[in-house]
């Protein structure tokens, strides 16, 4: 069973980071003093749950968290600075600060360093998240002490729900497009104008015609998906935005 450290100060350690090919030492005071910081810690860079869900959702929700008083969102893992920097680039997680806890000093001080020798990891951090205000832990979400790598409470949505229960999370939007398609340009322009971020997948680069037929029953583009629903092409998107933006107003 892991101790909940709410109300206590975070451990004082120095992180050895890399910036522009130079070693830069950063203390916990530099990260936390006088700030409101969300921290999520996980077992390892490039691992499945961490890469597919944990980091991407925190990266997506960081602007919303900042709208509700958070100064910085920090990802900590027992990996070296080179690995953490490369992982951040691979994840395109520009909203999150990646901190290498290479020696496990911070994780050990948190009481969250656990042996993962059975899978060849050595000592790694248990998965958890916390809200830290001026170096004092206000709230911790610790994954249950169960075999494997549980992922139930340290997610970004749970943290956002604690900080701002009424906050509206950003939409999950994907645009299937084709190079040179004017309707695709129009659809993307409408999303930009509405301030809605989206992921773009391009025909014959990121997907084939059989893929778009499989997910939307048509091969025409653009096809816009919002929160798992197929909205359709540019005209359908225009109608959707007109209807839903009016409701939001």
Q: Cβ distance 173 to 199 under 8 Å?
A: yes
- DSSP alpha helices (H): ranges in the chain? 28-32, 48-49, 55-67, 81-91, 105-109, 156-163, 182-193, 209-216, 234-248
Q: Is 109 left (phi over 0), alpha (psi -120 to 50) or beta?
A: alpha
Q: Report whether 113 contacts 107 (CB < 8 A).
A: yes
User: Which of these is catalytic: 50, 75, 181, 184?
Assistant: 50
* Beta strand 97-100 pairing with 72-77: parallel
50 is annotated as an active-site residue: yes
Cβ neighbour number for residue 122 with a 10 Å cutoff: 11
Catalytic residues: 50
């Amino acid at each position: 069973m892991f101790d909940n450290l709410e109300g206590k100060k975070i451990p004082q350690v120095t992180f050895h980071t890399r910036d522009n090919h130079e070693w830069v030492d950063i203390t916990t005071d530099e990260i936390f003093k006088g700030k409101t910081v969300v921290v999520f810690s996980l077992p390892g860079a490039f691992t499945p749950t961490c890469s597919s869900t944990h980091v991407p959702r925190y990266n997506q929700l960081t602007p919303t968290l900042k709208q509700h008083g958070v100064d910085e969102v920090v990802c900590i893992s027992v990996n070296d600075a080179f690995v953490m920097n490369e992982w951040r680039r691979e994840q395109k997680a520009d909203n999150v600060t990646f901190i290498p806890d290479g020696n496990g000093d911070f994780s050990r001080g948190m009481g969250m360093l656990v042996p993962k020798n059975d899978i060849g990891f050595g000592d790694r951090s248990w998965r958890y998240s916390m809200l830290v205000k001026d170096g004092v832990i206000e709230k911790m979400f610790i994954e249950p002490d169960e075999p494997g790598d549980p992922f139930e409470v340290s997610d970004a949505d749970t943290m956002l729900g604690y900080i701002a229960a009424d906050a509206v999370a950003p939409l999950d939007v994907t645009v299937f497009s084709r190079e040179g398609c004017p309707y695709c340009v129009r659809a993307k322009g409408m999303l930009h104008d509405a301030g809605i971020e989206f992921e773009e997948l391009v025909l014959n680069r990121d997907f084939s015609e059989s893929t778009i037929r499989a997910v939307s029953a048509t091969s025409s583009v653009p096809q816009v998906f919002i929160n798992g629903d197929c909205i359709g092409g540019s005209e359908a998107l225009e109608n959707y935005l007109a209807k839903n933006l009016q409701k939001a107003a």
